[in-house]
Amino acid sequence: MDSKERIAEGENSNWRERKDKLFFGIVVILSFITISPIALILYKLIVKGYKQINLDFFFKVAPDTLQAMTAVRNGELLPGGIANGITGTLLMVAVASVIAIPLSILIGIFLYENQGKQYANLIRSLTDILQGVPSVVLGIIAYIWIVQGITKGFSALAGSVALAIMMLPLIIRSTEETLKMLPISIKEAGAALGVPYHKIILKVMIPSGFSGLMTGILLSISRVIGETAPLMLTTLGSTAINLNITKPTSAVPLQIWEFYNNPNMIDLVWSSSLFLLGFVLTLNIIAKRISNQFN
Amino acid sequence: MNENILQIQHPVLSISNLMIAYGKDKSAVRDVTADVKRNAITAIMGPSGCGKSTLLRAINRMHELYPNIQTTGDILLNGESIYKMSTTRLRRKIGMVFQRPNPFPTMSIYENVIAGYDLNGSKLKKGEKDAIVESSLHDVGLFEEVKDSLNKKGNFLSGGQQQRLCIARALAFKPEVILMDEPTSALDPLSTAKIEDLLVELKKQYTIVLVTHNMSQAARISDNAMFMYLGELVEYDKTKKMFTNPADSRTEGYLTGKFG
C-alpha cells in the first residue's frame, strides 16, 4: 500500500466516523421524539394529580356534588376517592378473566395444533377481525346480550362480557405464539413416554410456556382495564361500592368520565388518570419482566 | 433375504412387510422385513430422507404423530403386534431418545427421570421413586455427577449430560428396547464417546436400535447394521460383514462415500 492510498483510506475512515456519529445523533433525537408524548403525559398527570392521592383516595367512594362544591369553595382538597371505581374495575376484570382466559387458551392450543389447516386459518382470521372491532360496538353487543337478555338492567356482568370479548384475541394469539416458540422436541419427549395427549398439553406444554401465557394475559388485562365506551353502555356506573355482578357498578375510567362532567371535581380527573396509567404501566412492566425470564 | 444370514433366534422385534406412506403416494418406507436381535445394537444407516427415522419411529408408533400417515404391515414385540397395544403400554416397553437432548425444561433432574411415571399418573411411593431415579441415573453414569443437584432444573447440565439424562428418563421404565434417533449428532466428540461407551454397556440389559448418520459410529458400536436407500432396506447384516464385504453395490457406494 503506498502513501496515497493510505491517506485516501484515512480520509475514508474519517468520513465513515462522521457518518456514524450523524446517524447516531439522528437515532437519539428520534428516540426522544418518540418517548416525549408518554413523558409529557406522565409529567402533566403527576403535577396535576399528586395532591389528591392519599389514603382516602383509595378507600373512600367519590364525593357528591355538594361535598365537592364546598371543598372547592373553601380551597380544600376534594373529599373522598375512587374506591367504588377501583373495586368495580377489579371485579369486572376478574370476571372477564374468568371468562376469557380458559376459553382463549383452549382456542390458542387448538390453533397451535392445527397449523396450516383451513378451518384453523379461518378462526385465526376471525380472531384478527375481532381484535379490530371497535370497543363501543362490543359494548352494544354486550348490552343486547346481557343487559337486555340476562340481567334485565345495567350490570357488571355485561361489562365483564364486553371486556372478555376484547381480551380473547390478545390471549389467543399470545398462547399460539408462545406454544409455537416451544421446541417440538419437548412434546415428542412426552409422547415417547406414552403420555396421553391432554396430559402433554396440560403438564408439559402449558408449564413450559407459562411465562409466555402469563405475559399475554397481563397485557390483555392492561389493554382492557382503561376501556370506557363499552362500560358506559353496560355497567352504567354507581356511586357506591358494589360487588354484585348483576347490578350497575362503577369503574375507574367511568369515574374519570363522570368527574370530567362535573366542574367541581376536575382535580379527581387528574388523580384518577394518574392512578389508571400507573396501574397499566405497572402491569406492563411486570409482563415485560416475566417475558424476559421466559426468553 | 438377509434374515437367513443373520439367523436371529427369538428376535425381540420382528418387522414384516412394513410400508409407510405420507399422503397418497409419498412412500417413506417400502416393504421392510427384518428381525432385531436381543441385547445388541442394531444401527440403521442411509442418506438423508431414506426413511430410516420413519422406520425407527414406526417401532414405537411415534410416526403416527405426523398427519396423513398410512401404515401397512406389522411389527411384533416379543411376538405381540404393537398395533394391538395401547401406545402408553407400547412406549413403556420401547423407549426413545432423540437427536437433541430434550429434558422437560420446567422439571428438575429428579422429576425428569421419573416423568414417565408421574405424567402417566402412576402412584409410586417416595421410596420407590427414589430407587428408580437412583438406578436409572446410575445406569447412565450420571448419578455421581448430579446427586447433589437432583432438585435443580435439567437445563444447567452440559449437552452430553442432558442427553444422558434423557437416556435415564427412557430407562426408568425398564424398557425392552431403546430407540435412538442420532443421539450424538448434537454433541461434541468427548460427550459422543461417553454416550457410545454407555450404549455398549447398556446393550447387556437392553436392545438398542440406533439411527445414525455417522458411519464410523455404526462401525464402532453396532453389532448388526441396516442400510436403507429410498425407503428400501437394501442390506441388513452383521456390521463387520457389511463394512468389509457389502453384498449390494449401493451399500458399498454409500460406505465408500460415493453418495449420501
> Residue B12: which domain range?
3-101+177-255
**d(C-alpha B155, C-alpha B109), whole Å:** 9
Q: Is residue B209 part of a domain?
A: yes
B-chain CB neighbours of A203 within 8 Å are 119
Q: For chain B, give me the number of helices (H) and strands (E)?
A: 11, 10
A-chain CB neighbours of B106 within 8 Å are 204, 207-208, 210
pLDDT digits (tens, 9 = 90+) for A110-163: 999 998 899 999 999 999 999 999 999 999 999 999 999 999 999 999 999 999
Out of 3.30.70.20, 3.40.50.300, 3.40.50.460, 1.10.3720.10, select the CATH number for domain A83-294: 1.10.3720.10
Cβ distance A158 to A91 under 8 Å?
Answer: no
For residue A110 the three cell numbers come to: 387448538
pLDDT digits (tens, 9 = 90+) for B201-236: 999 999 999 999 889 999 999 999 999 999 999 999
Dihedral angle of Cα A23, A24, A28, A30, to the nearest 10 degrees: 20
Question: Given CB atoms, is B62 within the 8 Å cutoff of chain A?
Answer: yes
**d(C-alpha A194, C-alpha A180), whole Å:** 22
Neighbours of A11 (CB within 10 A): 10
pLDDT at A57 over 50: yes
Q: State the total domains in chain B.
A: 1
pLDDT at A1 over 60: no
Cross-strand pairs, B211: B44, B181
Q: Is residue B245 part of a domain?
A: yes
B-chain CB neighbours of A188 within 8 Å are 62, 65, 98, 102
pLDDT at B2 over 50: no
Cβ distance B3 to B170 under 8 Å?
Answer: no
Smallest CA–CA distance from B67 into chain A, residue: A114
Judge: A195–B120 Cβ closer than 8 Å, yes or no: yes
- To the nearest whole angstrom, how far is the Cα of A194 from the nearest Cα of chain B? 4
pLDDT at A5 over 70: no
B-chain CB neighbours of A185 within 8 Å are 98-100, 102
pLDDT at B29 over 80: yes
Task: Give the per-residue pLDDT at B3.
Answer: 47
Task: Give the per-residue pLDDT at A295.
Answer: 58
- To the nearest whole angstrom, how far is the Cα of B118 from the nearest Cα of chain A? 9
pLDDT at A2 over 60: no
B-chain CB neighbours of A205 within 8 Å are none
Q: Is residue B17 part of a domain?
A: yes
The overall average pLDDT reported for chain A is 92
- The ranges assigned to domains in chain A are 83-294
Over residues A235-240, the mean pLDDT reads 92
Cβ-Cβ contacts under 8 Å for A217 (sequence gap 6 or more): A97, A101, A171, A174
- To the nearest whole angstrom, how far is the Cα of B169 from the nearest Cα of chain A? 9
Cβ-Cβ contacts under 8 Å for B242 (sequence gap 6 or more): B225, B227, B235, B251, B255
**d(C-alpha A81, C-alpha A61), whole Å:** 5
CATH of the domain at B52: 3.40.50.300
Nearest to B235 by CA among B15, B32, B12, B7: B32
Cross-strand pairs, B207: B177
Residue A191 CB-density burial (10 A; 0-12 exposed, 13-18 middle, 19+ buried): buried
Judge: B104–A196 Cβ closer than 8 Å, yes or no: no
pLDDT at A9 over 70: no
Helix (H, G, I), strand (E, B) or coil at B39: coil
**A173 pLDDT tier (thresholds 50, 70, 90):** very high
Q: Is residue B13 part of a domain?
A: yes
**A187 pLDDT tier (thresholds 50, 70, 90):** very high
**B164 pLDDT tier (thresholds 50, 70, 90):** very high
pLDDT at A249 over 90: yes
**d(C-alpha B191, C-alpha B197), whole Å:** 10
pLDDT digits (tens, 9 = 90+) for A20-51: 999 999 999 999 999 999 999 999 999 999 99
Phi, psi of A239 (to 5 degrees): -85, -15
Question: Given CB atoms, is A181 within the 8 Å cutoff of chain B?
Answer: no
| Chain B, window 68-97: residues with a beta carbon less than 8 angstroms from a chain A beta carbon | 86-92, 95-96
Judge: B65–A188 Cβ closer than 8 Å, yes or no: yes
For residue A114 the three cell numbers come to: 392445527
Judge: A192–B91 Cβ closer than 8 Å, yes or no: yes
